[in-house]
Structure 1
Amino acid sequence: MTDIRSVTRYGSRSYRPAWGAFLVVALVQACYGAGFILRSSFVVEGRRYFCLFDDAMISMRYASNWANGQGFVWNAGERVEGYTSFAWTALMGFCHLLPLSPSGMCLLVQLLGIPVLWSCSAATVLLARSCRLMPAVACSAVVLSGTYYNLLFFSLFGMETGLLTALVTWGQARAAHAVRRKEGSTWSVLWLGPALLVRPDVLPLAPPIVACVLLTARRYRRRVLLGLLVAALPVVSHLLWRYEFYGQWLPNTYYLKATGWPIADRIGSGLIQAQWTAGCLGLAALFVAAAATRPKRWYVIPLSCFAVSIATRFISVGTPGLWTASSSRPSRVYWCWPHRVFTGS
């Protein structure tokens, strides 16, 4: 009876404050997003123009050429994969089917970042509920993640950061739910398919999540295997298409950035990145673990993903074309993000 009470202690009604925090954060994100988009635009000869982050603008050119029937190319007839995210570039391609000017297209992509941020916050509530965190901790998680400057900046500047964050957070929530119920679930691994099409960075997260779900499941393990099979279909299809279209199995940026760099320098830069990530996220992970009333086995999923994120940060510098980072300089944390946007300082 003790275990049953501990599992049902925080029911769905207990997380109403977390959903209330989500609504407040969503309103703040909408207002902040409007100010961010306006402040990032510029006026030339009395006309206002909107733009995206440099990587996003590269993806926009690929998307425009694809929408015009030239394929995913930078220049017509030259097949070189230079975009960051296949799925995000494809989404931009569908946006280019609308009769909008280039500036209007950039504005549309920036506006899409606002509902993407909402989905990140909603997925955070689901993850907190799946892990049975205290409602106060769930509210804190929604507020802290929903106001994180780097997530806001890149999502509102046309990058795929928010979409990937939403997919990974939602996937961890479904996996934690499956582990808590001790049964396999197709949805606990199905999200890996679209997430890998957004960024291959998700790959190191797959083994611990799949292992946790399979090892704790007392029934329905075949559902997990079915989910993996379905998730692998679009990934394998994209891999084969890349080789057929570009003639390479990996992105072109991997071959450009991972060659000509001594392995000792890669390891050193990777250690710097790993230490920085551990310092930024370590205290938060320990706080969540300590604030939980009675830690259960399903906490191994978010904590394992945290550990893998440290390892991924280390790997990212060693293979910058395949992973996220290509610089050893730590990212700066902006605590006063509203002041920076609305004052321009």
Structure 2
Amino acid sequence: MVFLVGVWSAWFFTIDDAYITFRYSANFAAGHGPVWNPGENPVEGFTNFLWMLWHTPFAWLGLNLPAVAKVTSFAAGAAILVMLVRYCRTNHGLVAAVVAGSAFVLYLPTYFHITSGLETVAFAALVLRAVIVGLNAIEGRRVRIWEAPLLLVLAGMLRPDGVLAALPAFLVWLWTARRDRRAWLFTAIAAVVGAGYFAWRWSYYGYPFPNTYYVKFGNITAGTAWLDTTVWLYAPLLVLTAALLLWRNTRKAALVLCATVVTTSLTYVVSGPTMDYLHRFAFHTFPVLCLSTGIAAGVIVRSGGKAWLSITAGTVAGLLATGWVAVAGLQAPDLPVIANYGPDLARAHVAIGQGLAKADIPADAKVIALHDAGAMSYYSGWRTVDFIGLNDEPIAHGADPTTVVASAHPTVIVVRSYGPGPVATAYHTNIREAARGYVHIARVQMRNGYYLHIYVVPQYADQVRAAVMPVVDQAQHTYDPGSYGDTIHRWLTRLRHDLPW
């Protein structure tokens, strides 16, 4: 019940970045291939190829892709909960199952990751399943001979760093099954499929890694700060995971658990991840830490000595860890922004994109330059210049954004500002120069301290204004009208209004 209520409370949230993936899926479904702008050189502006591929047939069917993503992640989240409870209950007792499951469902960010539209929860489910397969292998339980290689391939296709995440459990399984020729056969098949996929991506997009890696990687300072935050966030879970090394009968399992947490986190330490809302990247190992915490609580309960003392110690350890992550989730500094992000995005980015789709201008003039390359690009369907560089290859590899925007001569430029007035620069782009000669037709407020300014070439200013502003005005009166504060109160008020009674 807690899990279902949590999902309901976050259902309206969709992160803007998810629409990047949806745009690639929609273009793929339309026969253009997995590209950002049809007819142009392919750019890999997403890091979740399998997630994009999963949504392609639904795009072809004309279904609502944000809803498909939420339902898929809901299923993945439910699978995580089932795996945690079943494994712990079967192998380590009731206390272990309650601790592992409670830690997962009481961590509020879980639900926003489920409804975000991104692959976060699906990836976390794959990593958890890989770990459970590895634990079953070293503990002598039955393991499907094909499962570990399949999980390795799926993890690597879902995220480029997925191979590192699933590798420790895979190597453990391969070692235990090394005398079985079928294990080597399936490993060889996985290697061929993985290498083929990597080679195809490289040849199709022109680079070995997604475009976003070239924009974001190398910020070790930010990566160190991310690590410090993550260690503090999950401190009791990490301590109990490491404590499993102290018991001889759990030492091998602890090595698998610890190695998975380290290899999964390594990529983010060297990249300094951006868009890490509600500790998104740390969540990739969160279910694994829930599992290890449940195991540790179960081991303490069964550690011998006086039964009442062992049960009390195990229960207290589990309660402390669960309570810690529950409180830490409630205290996430960006929780007020994320809790209200759904209506804020709907009345700004989504509305602008939907309005642009209605603009009565020639098809070859439908070109927009922006930095929030998500919902506006997806709903408008316009050719888009992403001057952050996530979906623009030249900018990602060092081209001057101002020059790129000016040479594209877009009909519309949308720029964010952190105050009501226009800005001179944004994301290394000289807006004054790029928008010289344009008409400023609107300022659209998303939330307190976040505005979008719309510039249009004079030739089409009236047509764009006539198409966009009615949609924006309607959205502003529909989604939390007049309320722009980043407060938990606004979120709770909206939830209270949504209750059937």
Common fold by TM > 0.5: yes
Q: Which runs of 5+ in 1 are unaligned?
A: 1-26, 41-51, 318-324
Give 2:5's aligned residue.
Answer: 31
Deviations, residues 228-282 of structure 1 (Å, cap 9, x unaligned): 3233333222222212322222111222334xx6xxxx33322222222222234
Provide the alpha-carbon RMSD of the alignment. 3.2
Shift of the alpha carbon at 1:328? 8.9
Deviations, residues 289-328 of structure 1 (Å, cap 9, x unaligned): 65898524233211222233443432232xxxxxxx1379
- State the structure with more CA Rg: 2
Give 2:21's aligned residue.
Answer: 59
Q: Secondary structure at the match of 1:82?
A: coil
> Which residue among 271, 274, 286 is the counterpart of 1:326?
274
- TM-score of the superposed pair, with normalisation by structure 1: 0.72
Give 1:200's aligned residue.
Answer: 160
Task: State the distance in 1 between where 2:123 and 2:60 align.
Answer: 24
Q: Secondary structure at the match of 1:70?
A: coil
**Counterpart code for 1:284:** L
1:180 and 2:180 aligned: no
Shift of the alpha carbon at 1:74? 1.5
**Counterpart code for 2:163:** L
**Conserved 8 A contact 1:205-1:305:** yes
Give 1:97's aligned residue.
Answer: 60
**Counterpart code for 1:166:** A
1:276 and 2:271 aligned: no
1:133 and 2:92 aligned: yes
1:307 and 2:266 aligned: no
Give 2:410's aligned residue.
Answer: none
Task: State the distance in 1 between where 2:97 and 2:259 align.
Answer: 19
1:343 and 2:298 aligned: no
Q: Check 1:344–1:289 CA distance in 2 against 1; reply closer, same or farther (3 A cut).
A: farther
Shift of the alpha carbon at 1:288? 4.9
Write out the 4+ residue segments of structure 1 that deviate beyond 4 Å after TM superposition.
182-185, 288-294, 327-330, 336-341
Give 1:10's aligned residue.
Answer: none
**Conserved 8 A contact 2:177-2:183:** no
Shift of the alpha carbon at 1:187? 2.1
> Which residue among 33, 38, 62 is the counterpart of 1:71?
33
**Conserved 8 A contact 1:81-1:246:** yes
1:87 and 2:50 aligned: yes
**Conserved 8 A contact 1:128-1:173:** no
Task: State the distance in 2 between where 1:164 and 1:304 align.
Answer: 17
Structure (1/2) with the larger helix percentage: 1
Give 1:321's aligned residue.
Answer: none
Shift of the alpha carbon at 1:140? 1.1
Q: Check 1:228–1:281 CA distance in 2 against 1; reply closer, same or farther (3 A cut).
A: farther
**Counterpart code for 1:268:** T
Give 1:285's aligned residue.
Answer: 238
1:152 and 2:111 aligned: yes
Deviations, residues 11-38 of structure 1 (Å, cap 9, x unaligned): xxxxxxxxxxxxxxxx433333234224
Shift of the alpha carbon at 1:64? 0.7
**Conserved 8 A contact 1:172-1:188:** no
Task: State the distance in 1 between where 2:76 and 2:138 align.
Answer: 27
1:117 and 2:53 aligned: no
**Counterpart code for 2:253:** W
Structure (1/2) with the larger strand percentage: 2
Q: Check 1:214–1:287 CA distance in 2 against 1; reply closer, same or farther (3 A cut).
A: same
